[in-house]
């Protein structure tokens, strides 16, 4: 018969299998048997050092990745923000609602596409928001030599940030010369309407009353200044034929010599640059929606731009930049222009489609229809804007509209 375990102070041991976790009650003395630590709580100094080394390697790898080159970080973040499909298509969570703040923006404005109106707005906004508006007095040199490109890129890159640089110049590839690629924005319009506006502006100027057409074309002979637009087109004058009509695409294609040759190569390269380097390419016929999206994408530059644009005083200034003495060519002449500008129209419709897709993501309504084989030409009502989506027309992308309205 086994003897009962004796307590050190005498008597039987009340806990023959060891003391409870909290230790023995007072008065029972110290215990020799103790409960060991749980297995999963055991770790050595070597294990701790391994975990910290792994974390350090991860942080260094993340830092090196962010310091690597490639497309502008802002455009990558924006592409992730907008996504390649709608929320319902990819069934993913809503994107981040906070956009990064780019400090380098270039507006390589296309001639006769509302650029003077936008520049007037930018002068007001730069004073209001404190960014550096960098302009140029060079208006008639869009094609640059390699050395001129390097010099201009150097001058732009060394400007005080945040800056917005604007000039009539074909697309510049900053990364080719070792610079940081800025964010590009631009606006285009119906190619025939752009051509007509430029044709009459060179001859008769606008309503500003400063005789700017005489300054821009002082050597133009009187018979050329008053040349009928139909005669210019039908008789195939140089001003009304290629390559002079191939005007919009080079602003997006770039400085390569082939960008000035009407054809598929320049067209496809222009589309590629729009996708990879331009934050937004808007349509002048929908300027108010362009300004709304610019305010959403670049609030540090364009916050409050629409209210300024709609102000009666600014409207009065804007009306002074409207070209005077414009006339509409005959339907026959217009159709000839369309044939000569077929690449310009293919690019215009591509940009317009992308712009409407972007509008829909932010809850702006667009009447998109398949373009006819031959577009119906017209002189559009300037700056006409479509209405926002009504409540009953909202769909499951309402979260995008909520983001837009914030």
Q: Tell how many helices (H) and how many strands (E) occur in the chain.
A: 18, 5
Which residues on neighbouring strands pair with residue 184, listed in sequence order?
106, 278
Exactly one of 168, 256, 300, 314 is catalytic; name it.
Answer: 168
Tally of CA atoms within 13 A in the half-sphere of 314 that contains its CB: 17
Using DSSP bridges, classify how beta strands 183-188 and 163-166 pair: parallel, antiparallel or unpaired: unpaired
**Please, are residues 218 and 226 in contact by the beta-carbon 8 Å criterion?**
no
Q: Is 168 a catalytic residue?
A: yes
User: Which helix (H) or strand (E) segment is 134 a member of?
Assistant: strand 132-134
301 contacts: CB under 8 Å, gap ≥ 6: 105, 122, 125, 129, 131, 162, 164, 294
Structural contact between residues 112 and 199, judged by C-beta atoms closer than 8 angstroms: no
What contacts 185, CB < 8 A, 6 or more positions away?
105, 106, 107, 278, 279, 280, 281, 282, 294, 298
Alpha-helical runs (H) found in 83-206? 87-90, 115-129, 146-157, 191-204
- Angstrom CA distances, 182 to 71, 79, 122, stand at 9, 15, 18
Largest interatomic CA distance in the chain: 135
Instruction: Give the closest residue to 387 by CA, choosing from 316, 243, 289.
Output: 289
Pick the closest to residue 250 from 163, 188, 179, 338 (CA basis).
188
Contact at 8 Å (CB) between 204 and 175?
no
Supply the residues annotated as catalytic. Answer: 168
């Amino acid at each position: 018969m086994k003897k009962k375990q004796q307590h050190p102070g005498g008597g039987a041991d009340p806990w023959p299998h060891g003391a409870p976790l909290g230790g023995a009650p007072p008065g029972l003395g110290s215990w020799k048997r103790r409960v060991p630590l749980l297995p999963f709580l055991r770790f050595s100094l070597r294990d701790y050092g391994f975990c910290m080394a792994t974390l350090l390697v991860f942080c260094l790898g993340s830092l090196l990745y962010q310091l690597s080159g490639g497309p502008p970080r802002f455009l990558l973040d924006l592409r992730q923000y907008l996504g390649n499909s709608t929320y319902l298509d990819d069934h993913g969570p809503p994107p981040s609602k906070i956009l990064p703040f780019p400090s380098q923006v270039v507006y390589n404005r296309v001639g006769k596409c509302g650029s003077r109106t936008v520049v007037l707005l930018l002068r007001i906004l730069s004073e209001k928001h404190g960014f550096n508006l960098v302009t140029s007095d060079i208006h008639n040199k869009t094609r640059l030599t390699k050395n001129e490109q390097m010099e201009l890129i150097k001058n732009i890159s060394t400007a005080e940030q945040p800056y917005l640089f604007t000039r009539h110049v074909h697309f510049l590839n900053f990364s080719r010369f070792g610079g940081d690629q800025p964010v590009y924005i631009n606006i285009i319009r119906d190619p025939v309407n752009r051509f007509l506006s430029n044709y009459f502006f060179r001859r008769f100027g606008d309503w500003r009353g400063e005789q700017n057409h005489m300054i821009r074309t002082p050597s133009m002979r009187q018979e050329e200044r008053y040349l009928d637009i139909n005669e210019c087109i039908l008789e195939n004058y140089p001003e009304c034929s290629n390559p002079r009509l191939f005007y919009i695409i080079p602003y997006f294609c770039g400085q390569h010599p082939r960008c000035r040759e009407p054809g598929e190569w320049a067209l496809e390269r222009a589309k590629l640059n729009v996708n990879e380097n331009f934050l937004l390419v808007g349509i002048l016929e929908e300027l108010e929606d362009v300004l709304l999206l610019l305010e959403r994408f670049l609030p540090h530059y364009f916050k409050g731009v629409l209210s300024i644009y709609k102000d009666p005083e600014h409207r009065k200034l804007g009306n002074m930049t409207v070209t005077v003495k414009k006339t509409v060519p005959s339907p026959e002449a217009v159709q000839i222009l369309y044939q000569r500008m077929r690449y310009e129209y293919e690019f215009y419709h591509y940009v317009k489609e992308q712009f409407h897709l972007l509008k829909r993501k932010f809850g702006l309504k667009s009447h998109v229809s398949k373009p006819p084989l031959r577009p119906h030409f017209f002189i559009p009502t300037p700056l006409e804007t479509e209405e926002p989506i009504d409540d009953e027309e909202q769909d499951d992308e309402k979260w995008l509209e909520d983001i837009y309205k914030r």
